[in-house]
Amino acid sequence: MRILIANDDGYLAPGIAALVRACDGLGHIDVYAPEQNASGTSNALTLTRPLSIFQAKVEGVQGFNVVNGTPSDCVHVALTGVLAQKPDLVLSGINNGANMGDDTLYSGTVAAAMEGFLFGIPAIAFSQAEKGWAHLDAAAAAARAIVDEVIASGALQRGPFLLNVNFPNRADVAARPRAVTRLGRRHSSEPVIQQTNPRGEPIYWIGPAGDAREAGQGTDFHAVAQGCVSITPLQVDLTDHAGRAVWASRLGRA
């Protein structure tokens, strides 16, 4: 069993060390993580400069490979040039904060897992719903239980999949019900925050994500609000299948 672990919060984030420790004993583990916090970088690849990798020991865990790039860079470089053998599973996280609904489009945590999925490898992204790492060890234990059950189910032998897991920050999270959910929707982000730099020029901070808008029964938002673990199976096909016929009538031409 070979597992590749990445994240988007950077190699020094407590979440990835906790996930690596939780996977102890599962087999051979490779860790490739960004040098800096790369949250919100989605599936970006670095194409305008070369990447470097250095080794680090983090929280007593040996063998972290640190990449001066994005989460997708980390997995991409590991899979296409560095690892001698293809992993059986790619894990990402544990992220500092929720990746639910529209977050999944911006998330580097989901993207790192998706990079594995795009290379045909089963992958799971893990996030804690609230920032701040409260009950991180409990989330790591819950992540390990999910990995164990995925392995025991035989799913790894049945082709690639992409799971997006969000944990409520609770001490008893490993014992909480799990809901297999669909993505909810958020309201649009808050407006940018304008400030002035020391030279009198305007600068802009991207505002916070919007609150949940579509958070009904069956969504990831709803499950986590109920104190449950949300597991959303994801796909990467963005095609508006229902819209194809409409657009064919408007714009199609033989």
Q: Does 39 bind Mn ion (CB under 5 A)?
A: yes
Contacts of 105 (CB under 8 A, 6+ apart): 42
Min. distance of Cβ 8 from Mn ion in angstroms? Answer: 4
Residue number, 40 or 160, with CB nearest to Mn ion: 40
Q: Does 230 bind Mn ion (CB under 5 A)?
A: no
Q: For Mn ion, which residue of 3, 8, 75, 140 counts as binding (CB under 5 A)?
A: 8
Query: Total number of residues binding Mn ion (CB under 5 A)?
Result: 4
| Range in contact with Mn ion (rule: CB under 5 A) among 8-16, 74-82, 117-125, 176-184 | 8-16
Min. distance of Cβ 9 from Mn ion in angstroms? Answer: 4
Residue number, 9 or 30, with CB nearest to Mn ion: 9
Q: Site residues for Mn ion, window 89-128 (CB under 5 A)? A: 95
Residue number, 95 or 164, with CB nearest to Mn ion: 95
Q: Does 70 bind Mn ion (CB under 5 A)?
A: no
| Range in contact with Mn ion (rule: CB under 5 A) among 9-17, 176-184, 218-226, 244-252 | 9-17
Location of structure tokens 């408007």: 250
Min. distance of Cβ 16 from Mn ion in angstroms? Answer: 10
Residue number, 70 or 151, with CB nearest to Mn ion: 70
| Range in contact with Mn ion (rule: CB under 5 A) among 7-15, 62-70, 85-93, 220-228 | 7-15
Contact positions toward Mn ion, by CB under 5 A?
A: 8-9, 39, 95
